[in-house]
């Protein structure tokens, strides 16, 4: 397929009529002024850099209604008491997913974890703080690993602990792909699949997060406590690492 055609196809998948209306409403409500351009195309969502009426940069994450894996989303939503009345229809599930990410970001900020500030959420569109400088998004940690992994180790594990203990939240998809390197500070992103700690999968998801981060940091040359000790640090009331 020619490149322009490909781009057009992506835009049509993202900006369907109902999404256009949603963006129009968000713009009327003063959240979005105009779009600058795409930052990323993911499995379920596209992220754009945009400006608000004050001229500040914002990140707009749009969950695609037609081409997202709503069956997989359902697995996480079904066990979440916050969304017990969501119907098992594609559109409703995608909307609930976006709202879930928004609420999880609110919880994360309240727990003082490092994450983008949530600004607004309507249907499948989430507006949040843009992490980056001068219209350039901060790179993911996979591409821009930290200069001081030891400092990141402490910061990230403190954040995982804060999420768990202050917000009762498990991120559930934590890895070097969902951490941005913002001027050598780690910022956790992509909270859509995050669940509360009483969700049936919460423990397994937390264990995966701990393993992913520990294995990645080990590859960067750090010597770390065992996975069990790290897990205990996160869920325990006290303890140091």
Ligand X SMILES: Nc1ncnc2c1ncn2[C@@H]1O[C@H](COP(=O)(O)OP(=O)(O)OP(=O)(O)O)[C@@H](O)[C@H]1O
Please say if 190 is a catalytic residue.
yes
CA pair distance 200, 26, nearest whole angstrom: 35
* Residues between 166 and 195 with contacts to ligand X, criterion CB under 6 A: 178, 189-190, 192
Site size with ligand X, rule: CB under 6 A: 21
CB 191 within 8 A of CB 171: yes
CA angle 190, 83, 173 (to 5 degrees): 25
115 binds ligand X (CB under 6 A): no
| Residue 118: how many other CB atoms lie within 10 Å | 20
Pairwise CA distance, residues 208 & 31, whole Å = 35
Spell out, one character per residue from 174 to 203, where the chain touches Mg ion: x when CB under 5 A holds, - when not. ----x-----------x-------------
Residue nearest to ligand X (CB): 42
Is 16 one of the catalytic residues? Answer: no
What separation in angstroms does the CA of 231 have from each of 147, 201, 204? 25, 15, 11
Pick the stretch among 131-139, 152-160, 161-169, 216-224 that binds ligand X (CB under 6 A): 131-139
Complex with ligand X: residue 22 or 175, whichever CB lies closer: 175
Catalytic residue among 16, 190, 198, 209: 190
For CA atoms 124, 125, 128, 131, the dihedral sign is positive
| Chain residues in the site for ligand X (CB under 6 A) | 39-40, 42-45, 47, 59, 61, 116, 128-132, 137, 140, 178, 189-190, 192
């Amino acid at each position: 397929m020619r490149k322009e055609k490909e781009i057009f196809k992506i835009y049509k998948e993202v900006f369907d009529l109902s999404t256009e209306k949603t963006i129009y409403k968000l713009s009327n409500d003063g959240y979005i002024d105009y779009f600058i351009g795409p930052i990323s195309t993911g499995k379920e969502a596209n992220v754009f850099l945009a400006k608000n009426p004050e001229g500040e940069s914002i990140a707009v994450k749009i969950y695609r209604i037609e081409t997202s894996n709503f069956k997989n989303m359902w697995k996480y939503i079904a066990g979440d008491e916050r969304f017990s009345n969501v119907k098992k229809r594609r559109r409703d599930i995608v909307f609930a997913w976006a709202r879930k990410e928004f609420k999880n970001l609110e919880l994360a900020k309240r727990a003082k974890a490092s994450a983008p500030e949530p600004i607004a959420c309507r249907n499948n569109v989430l507006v949040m703080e843009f992490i980056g400088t001068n219209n350039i998004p901060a790179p993911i940690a996979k591409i821009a690993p930290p200069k001081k992994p030891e400092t990141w180790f402490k910061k990230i594990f403190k954040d995982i602990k804060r999420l768990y203990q202050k917000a009762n939240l498990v991120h559930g998809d934590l890895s070097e792909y969902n951490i941005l390197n913002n001027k050598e500070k780690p910022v956790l992103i992509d909270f859509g699949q995050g669940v509360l700690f009483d969700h049936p999968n919460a423990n397994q998801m937390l264990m995966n997060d701990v393993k992913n981060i520990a294995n990645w940091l080990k590859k960067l040359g750090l010597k770390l406590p065992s996975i069990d000790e790290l897990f205990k640090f996160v869920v325990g009331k006290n303890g140091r690492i």
